[in-house]
Structure 1
Amino acid sequence: MQDSNIDIQTKRVDTAVALTKGVLGAVPFAGGALAEIIGSVVPNQRLDRIAAFLTELDKRLKKVEVEKLNHNKFALDLFEDGMYQAVRILSEDRNKYLANFLKHTIDVDSDSYSTKKKLLGILQELTDKDIEILKSISKIWYQATARKYSIIPVTYGQYDKLLDEEKNEYEHLRVDFGLHIANLQRLNLVHVKTKEIDPEWDDSHIDNDTGLPEVDDCNLTKIGELLLSNIGAIDC
């Protein structure tokens, strides 16, 4: 019975993708490029990811919105970019975020197209954990967020007893949160306030994990708020 269910699911996915390829091939502007993606890159992954994304998008788009999409060259361009991202999606939440974003682009015009394009590009550069931390910062103050992702420090003696692989993993965990904050800051999604360094003491307020100035506070920029709003994560 289990094999039968898997078989049915596989056929449903293959049928959905086949239909998708046919529809996209007839779509002006982006159709040819999308069909090429589905016909080459996606099959190597059984097309599950693209099918999962299209399912989420289908839940959100009404028939009239699909018709608008087909007649809006700016929306179609963003949809093509979204399809490239969908191929690499690894989580259900990410499918929802991308589907929500594209739903908000149906009525995009020449004035808002550039901003939407840049926001979609930023979304591509974020990991799921980046988004999770960004959401946390939008709800609670920075230090509470930092503690949530902190690790239990070990003594020098405990560290020396770790295997090389364990030491490597520990070092990755130490810098993990700092790397995510640095990425969010690089993309102008958060404003980071660091503690002032005492000129008479070079090591004052230096984060032992990252080697960078300690973060005193962190909050979302307007761009960060706009991104969360566009992906439907502002109240999640």
Structure 2
Amino acid sequence: MTITPNTPKNLQSDSTDYVTAAAKGVLGMVPFAGSLLAELAGTVIPNQRIDRLAKFAIELESRLSRLDHGHLSEQLSNENFTDLAEESIRQAAKSISDERRLYLSALLVNGISSTLVSHTESKHLLQILGELNDIEVVWLRYYLNPTVGSDAEFIGAHKEILKPITPYLGGGQDLVDKHALQESYKEHLVRLGLLVTKYELDPKTKQPIFDTQTGRQKVRGYQITSLGRLLLRQIDLVTNDRA
């Protein structure tokens, strides 16, 4: 049933109860993670996509099974943890890609098990992740090691995203638009503090070089920040020895 503002309140309640019961039923099929998420399902995901939560629960279960369940049970009484879990559920319910659910489950589990990153700090990282689309996550991972010949497997798997788009005379408006979008992904990562911009300098004067068309300082490239590296580690896109 689709709920609208004109739907009678008793029917809205019945529909919400049905969705909540369905969520708990599906999640309950996954031994530990399912029951953990089902505790929060009634207040977090009414009328959201249950199949997305089920996939998230299965991925979460595979990660949680490697941790001490006694410690996990204790976390249920920790308000900072339940706050982190609720935000993970909200984002998982809205996720449309398997990759996004992998990032979310990794961040949640690493937030539980890490002694260096608190639940509050994990939620901050989760909120940053929520501001990124999957293309921007790929670009962030690319800048971990952007040298020629490095990460050939990763670059090959995402070559359509990472292929540089350079406008040229006669290239048409579509090319200009695609270039603008590609640059906007990187600029968004800069605004979030995950990348920093490297600018071109005159080799003789060491002064900034400006683009005569845009009037802006010419960009030489981008460099990942410590925050960017931390986010990649927490979503399991890089191991500690590579970050």
2:56 to 53, 56, 60: 53
Structure 1 counterpart of 2:228: 224
Query: In the alignment, is residue 117 of structure 1 matched against residue 120 of structure 2?
Result: no
Structure 2 counterpart of 1:129: 135
* Alignment gaps of 5+ in structure 2: 1-20, 29-33, 203-208
Instruction: Name the amino acid aligned to 1:187.
Output: L
The percentage of counterpart residues that share the same residue type is 26
Q: C-alpha distance in 1, partners of 2:95/2:43? A: 18
Q: Which has the higher contact order (CA 8 A, sep 6+)?
A: 1
1:191 to 181, 191, 196: 196
* Alignment gaps of 5+ in structure 1: 1-13, 160-166, 198-203
Q: How has the CA–CA distance of structure 1 residues 74 and 97 changed in structure 2, closer, same or farther, with 3 Å as cutoff?
A: same
Q: How has the CA–CA distance of structure 1 residues 76 and 155 changed in structure 2, closer, same or farther, with 3 Å as cutoff?
A: same
Checking the alignment, whether the CA contact within 8 Å between 1:137 and 1:220 is kept in structure 2 is yes
Query: In the alignment, is residue 18 of structure 1 matched against residue 32 of structure 2?
Result: no
**Residues 177-232 of structure 1 deviation map (CA, whole Å, 9 limit, x = unaligned):** 210111111011112111248xxxxxx54397x87433213211111111101000
Number of paired residues? Answer: 198
Superposition map of 1:173-192 within 5 A = 173-192=178-197
The structure with more helix, counted as a fraction of residues: 1
Structure 2 counterpart of 1:7: none
Report how far residue 112 of structure 1 moved: 2.5
Paired residue secondary structure (2:112): coil
Superposition map of 1:1-236 within 5 A = 17-20=24-27, 23=35, 27=39, 31=40, 34-40=41-47, 42=48, 45=49, 47-62=50-65, 63-107=69-113, 112-141=118-147, 148-151=162-165, 153-156=167-170, 159=172, 167=173, 169-196=174-201, 205-206=210-211, 212-235=216-239
Checking the alignment, whether the CA contact within 8 Å between 1:68 and 1:107 is kept in structure 2 is no
Checking the alignment, whether the CA contact within 8 Å between 1:68 and 1:106 is kept in structure 2 is no
Checking the alignment, whether the CA contact within 8 Å between 2:80 and 2:120 is kept in structure 1 is no
Instruction: Name the amino acid aligned to 2:46.
Output: G
Checking the alignment, whether the CA contact within 8 Å between 2:44 and 2:90 is kept in structure 1 is yes
**Residues 72-111 of structure 1 deviation map (CA, whole Å, 9 limit, x = unaligned):** 22111101011111112121111111100000122578x8
Q: C-alpha distance in 1, partners of 2:84/2:94? A: 16
Q: How has the CA–CA distance of structure 1 residues 25 and 139 changed in structure 2, closer, same or farther, with 3 Å as cutoff?
A: closer
Instruction: Name the amino acid aligned to 2:218.
Output: E
Q: C-alpha distance in 2, partners of 1:122/1:53? A: 19
Paired residue secondary structure (1:104): helix
Checking the alignment, whether the CA contact within 8 Å between 1:207 and 1:214 is kept in structure 2 is no
Structure 1 counterpart of 2:3: none
**Residues 105-162 of structure 1 deviation map (CA, whole Å, 9 limit, x = unaligned):** 22578x82332221111010011111101111102239x9899432264533x53xxx
Q: Please provide the CA RMSD for this pair.
A: 3.6
Instruction: Name the amino acid aligned to 1:190.
Output: L
Q: C-alpha distance in 1, partners of 2:224/2:135? A: 16
Normalised by the length of structure 1, the TM-score is 0.69
Checking the alignment, whether the CA contact within 8 Å between 1:24 and 1:35 is kept in structure 2 is no
Normalised by the length of structure 2, the TM-score is 0.68
Q: How has the CA–CA distance of structure 1 residues 225 and 17 changed in structure 2, closer, same or farther, with 3 Å as cutoff?
A: same
Checking the alignment, whether the CA contact within 8 Å between 2:103 and 2:235 is kept in structure 1 is yes
